[in-house]
C-alpha cells in the first residue's frame, strides 16, 4: 500500500467513525483544495453519497469564482448545502472592506461569530433547494454536534496542536491544554453534552499530499490555484480584500507538484498571502481559540 493509500484509508476510517458517533454531523467546505479533497474522501467513504450537509461560512467577500464553483458542484453531486453568514454585521457594514473595523475584528465577526451561530443553530442559515436552484432560509435549524474540517497539521502552527477529534465548549472556544490523548486508531468520541467536536481527517496530510491526491483522483479545483499567464497564482484561498497570490509559473497540477517537490516554498508559509495571519502575529492561534476554523 502506498503512502497516499494509507492516508486515504485513515481519513475514510475517521469519517466513518464521525458518522457513527455524532447524530448531527456537518462538514465545512470552503471550496479550497483541502476541503474539496475532504469532500472527495467523504464520497469514497459512503460510496458516492455524502450523508451529512456541507457547511459554508460565507463572508460575502469570497472571490466570485469560488462561489460559482461551489454551486456547480452542489448541483452536479446533489449535495446538501448549508450556508451561514453574520448577516447582522454585513447589513450594518461592520466589516474591514467597508472601513469599519480591522482585519482581525472582521474575521471574528464574519468567520468566528458566523461559524458559531451556524453550528449552534441560533443564526440564520440558508439551504440549497435542488428543485428551485435557490438558497432558502432554514426553518428551526438544528445545532451540529460534530463538524468535519479540512485542517492539516503542517499548514499553520496552531493546527499542529489539534487532535483528530477535538472538543470545543458551548461558546465554541478551544482549550488547547485540554486535548484528549489519541493512540494509534483509538479516538475519543464520547464528550460531555453541549460539546461541539471538530473532526480532522486530513491532519496527517501535507500540501504535497493534497496535490498528489488531486492529480491521482482527477479532482476539479478552482482555476485560481493555477498561473493564468501573469506569473502568479493563489496558494491559499480566502476573502479577496485580504488574500494575495504568490509568484509562480505553475499552470497545472503537475507543475504545482514539481514546485513543492523542489522546495520552492520551503521557507514560505502556505498562508503567507492571508493578511489576517500576519496581523495575528504570523499564526491563527488567537482566532482559533475563539472558534475560528
Q: What pLDDT is stored for residue 266 in this prediction?
A: 80
Q: How do residues 208-233 score in pLDDT, each as one tens digit?
A: 999 999 999 999 999 999 999 999 99
0.75 exceeded by pTM: yes
SS3 for 214-273, per residue?
A: HHHHCCCCCHHHCCCCCCEECCCCCECCCECCEECCCCCHHHHHHHHHCCCCCCCCCCCC
Residues 7 and 116 in one domain: yes
Q: How do residues 185-206 score in pLDDT, each as one tens digit?
A: 778 788 777 778 899 999 999 9
Q: What pLDDT is stored for residue 40 in this prediction?
A: 98
Q: In the chain, what percentage of residues exceed pLDDT 90? A: 72
Of the listed ranges 44-48, 107-111, 118-122, 283-287, the one predicted with least confidence:
283-287
Q: Can you spell out the DSSP letters for the chain?
A: --HHHHHHHHHHHHHHHHHHH-SSEEEE--SSHHHHHHHHHHHHHTTT---S-EEEE--S-B-HHHHHHHHHHHHHHT--EEEE--HHHHHTT-STTTTSS-HHHHHIIIIIIHHHHHHTT-S-EEEEETTTTEEEEPSSPPPPSEEE----TTTSGGGGG--SEEEE-TT----TT-----BTTB------TT-EEEE-TTTT--HHHHHHHHHHHT----GGGS--SSSEE-SS--BTTTB-PEE----SHHHHHHHHHTTTTTTS-TTTTBHHHHHTTSSSHHHHHTT--
Q: What pLDDT is stored for residue 190 in this prediction?
A: 80
Q: What pLDDT is stored for residue 25 in this prediction?
A: 96
Q: How do residues 11-52 score in pLDDT, each as one tens digit?
A: 999 999 999 999 899 999 999 999 999 999 999 999 999 999
Mean pLDDT of 129-136: 97
More confident: 182 or 123: 123
Task: Report the sign of the C-alpha dihedral through residues 214, 217, 223, 226, in that order.
Answer: positive
Q: How do residues 52-79 score in pLDDT, each as one tens digit?
A: 999 999 999 999 999 999 999 999 999 9
Residue 280 pLDDT exceeds 60: no
Q: What pLDDT is stored for residue 159 in this prediction?
A: 56
Residues 11 and 98 in one domain: yes
Residues 142 and 249 in one domain: no
Residues 194 and 269 in one domain: no
Task: Report the sign of the C-alpha dihedral through residues 164, 254, 50, 7, in that order.
Answer: negative
Q: What pLDDT is stored for residue 234 in this prediction?
A: 95
Read off the pLDDT band of 275 (50, 70, 90).
low
Residues 189 and 174 in one domain: yes
Residue 154 pLDDT exceeds 80: yes
Residues 117 and 231 in one domain: no
Mean pLDDT of 72-92: 97
Looking up residue 97, the CATH number of its domain turns out to be: 3.40.50.620
Residues 120 and 48 in one domain: yes
Q: What pLDDT is stored for residue 253 in this prediction?
A: 98
Q: In the chain, what percentage of residues exceed pLDDT 70? A: 87
Residues 138 and 225 in one domain: no
Query: Angle 194-114-144 (CA atoms, 0-180°, nearest 5)?
Result: 35
Residues 114 and 248 in one domain: no
Domain of 235, in residue numbers: 207-277
Residue 90 pLDDT exceeds 70: yes
Residues 192 and 106 in one domain: yes
Residues 230 and 198 in one domain: no
- What is the domain count for the chain? 2
Residues 201 and 228 in one domain: no
Residue 293 pLDDT exceeds 60: no
Amino acid at each position: 500500500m502506498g503512502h497516499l493509500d494509507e492516508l486515504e484509508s485513515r481519513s475514510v476510517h475517521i469519517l466513518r467513525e464521525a458518522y457513527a458517533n455524532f447524530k448531527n454531523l456537518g462538514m465545512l467546505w470552503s471550496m479550497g483544495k483541502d476541503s474539496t479533497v475532504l469532500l472527495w474522501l467523504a464520497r469514497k467513504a459512503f460510496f458516492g453519497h455524502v450523508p451529512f450537509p456541507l457547511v459554508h461560512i460565507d463572508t460575502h467577500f469570497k472571490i466570485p469564482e469560488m462561489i460559482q464553483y461551489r454551486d456547480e458542484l452542489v448541483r452536479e453531486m446533489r449535495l446538501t448545502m448549508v450556508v451561514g453568514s453574520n448577516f447582522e454585521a454585513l447589513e450594518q457594514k461592520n466589516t474591514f472592506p467597508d472601513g469599519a473595523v480591522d482585519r482581525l475584528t472582521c474575521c471574528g465577526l464574519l468567520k468566528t461569530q458566523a461559524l458559531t451561530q451556524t453550528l449552534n443553530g441560533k443564526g440564520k442559515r440558508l439551504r440549497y433547494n435542488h428543485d428551485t436552484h435557490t438558497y432558502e432560509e432554514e426553518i428551526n435549524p438544528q445545532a451540529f454536534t460534530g463538524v468535519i474540517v479540512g485542517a492539516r497539521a503542517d499548514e499553520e502552527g496552531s493546527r499542529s496542536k489539534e487532535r483528530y477529534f477535538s472538543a470545543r465548549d458551548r461558546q465554541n472556544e478551544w482549550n488547547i491544554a485540554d486535548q484528549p490523548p489519541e493512540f494509534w486508531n483509538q479516538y475519543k468520541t464520547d464528550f460531555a453534552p453541549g460539546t461541539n467536536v471538530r473532526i480532522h481527517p486530513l491532519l496527517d496530510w501535507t500540501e504535497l499530499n493534497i496535490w498528489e491526491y488531486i492529480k491521482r483522483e482527477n479532482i476539479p479545483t478552482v482555476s485560481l490555484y493555477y498561473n493564468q499567464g501573469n506569473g502568479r497564482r493563489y496558494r491559499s484561498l480566502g476573502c479577496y480584500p485580504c488574500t494575495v497570490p504568490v509568484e509562480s509559473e505553475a499552470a497545472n497540477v503537475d507543475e504545482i507538484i514539481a514546485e513543492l517537490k523542489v522546495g520552492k516554498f520551503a521557507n514560505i508559509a502556505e498562508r503567507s498571502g492571508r493578511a489576517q495571519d500576519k496581523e495575528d502575529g504570523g499564526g491563527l492561534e488567537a482566532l482559533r481559540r475563539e472558534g475560528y476554523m
